[in-house]
Structure 1
Amino acid sequence: MVDRSKLFQNLAARQTWLDEEPSEAPEPNEVPLATIKPNPHQPRRYFDPEALANLQTSISEHGILEPLLVRPHNKGYELVAGERRYQAAKALGLKTVPVIIRELSNQETLKIALTENLQREDLNPVEETQSILELLALELVTNTDEVRSRLNKMKHAHDRAQDLNTIEGAGQIDQLLIGLGYQWPSWVKNRLPVLNLPPIILEALAQGQLKYTAAIAIAKVNDETAMQTLLDQAIAESLSVAQIRDRVRGLNAQPQDEFKVRCDRVFKKIRSAEANLNTKQRQKLDSLLAQLDQLLDGA
């Protein structure tokens, strides 16, 4: 389990805009809530309703103890950090909120939003993994697909005892993940695969309906329809991981349509490998898909 307080200290140490001495920190301002617009690129997608309700109760009793961070934007302000406080303030009908106003670039804004996300105790594995990939992408000045490709190359080199220095950005990746409290080999093995889960499981996990270990277990069901049924049962009945694994074994032991299984397996392989294909492999796969598409048109 990652120590969130230590994690945030490590992150904060990397961000120059959070390095101010207390005496230099700006005083908060009270601004109309209506002048603040949410960040359209907010990396966090899901907010637990119960946690938001608890926050509303706290704000009702004690007010907003920590100002929101905003930046000037279109004659008003854009929210940089404090999305949950912003949502709670809206729900309570507050007219004004305390804010710290900073001049920040788009890149700085995203980094701060990601940093704030990663210090949350209730951050789910999907959001955490996506946020870390975004931070790595910003650090390496690239995109998340390229980061995943480099991480997979690092894993392959590590498994073969090869030199990691031949992989661009490997040192930066290693240092940033250490700063987040992870060793990169274990993170790649245990966390990165979460993004390869079937969409129905990924969505349930992102919405906090499912624990990570339960999601991994359900994903092992061979038949997609049976997987959906088990997912619904796991959520409705609050099944334990042990109960889920028992049901998975029973479902996978049932006779299945071998042709359908093969189709599903190939489709999953394509989805999993898509980001790591080189140009030649992608062209060949595109040609095969075109042939398959043409074949099915005549079915």
Structure 2
Amino acid sequence: MISAVRTPDSVAAAVGHAAAGGWLMAGGTVVMPQVNNGAVGFPELVSLRRAGIGGIELDGPIARVGATTTLAEVEESQELSFLRGAVRTVASPTVRNLATVGGNLFVAQPYGDLAVCLLALDASADITGPGGHREVPVGAVLAGGVASGEVVTAVRLAVPAPGTWFYHKAMRRKLNSAAIVAVAAVVETAAGVVTSARIALGGVAPTPVRAVSAETVLIGRPLESGVLEEAGRAARADIAPFDDAYASAWYRSRVLPVHLRRAFLG
């Protein structure tokens, strides 16, 4: 049972409460349902809302997005306007007004879609804990979380050049639905062929994954339907699909090539 709710006014204070066994909460869209259901193994909640780790800053091509920045704020941001379409596929406006960038890193289904984008963007996470500050790839956070007492304070990403960002999400409903397949990618071309590719997938594994096999297929080849279908089939080697209320593991694997192609060609 929760015995106290802490609202620290600094990162250092938040780290102290977390290290003492508190359960970190930003927007509360994941934490509060578990609290209400009694599925809590922590004595205290530690709200990050007053810790001063929100906001979006741009330094050249590098954006620093505070961990408590809401998805609605990302959606409205001019600096991150390329992400607007992806963010609008996440949950509902009500949830996006509360859900945060940092919290999205720790959610697989149903609302971890921004994390798929961050993985494709090769973003990094600023983390502060009892041992000090460190910066790690978002992929490492998605794979292993953070240590006890640590707080994600921001994510950093390079804003992609125009025409290099691609996103597509297949859903059961137009709004407020988990991904059957989500594809986010930064792909650069020159002289009609792919020179670099970084593709991330959601909905096809317990956490977002890189489609390294698909990237390998694309390098040195044009972004054409046949090549993309081949890349989609290759991507099956990188996924660990599952059954849920939205789709079966078999179906997710079956339609992956179709949706990877649609991410690039529509």
Q: What is the TM-score with the length of structure 1 in the denominator?
A: 0.26
Q: Which structure's residues are more often helix, by fraction? A: 1
Q: Which structure's residues are more often strand, by fraction? A: 2
Q: Which of structures 1 and 2 has the bigger CA Rg?
A: 1
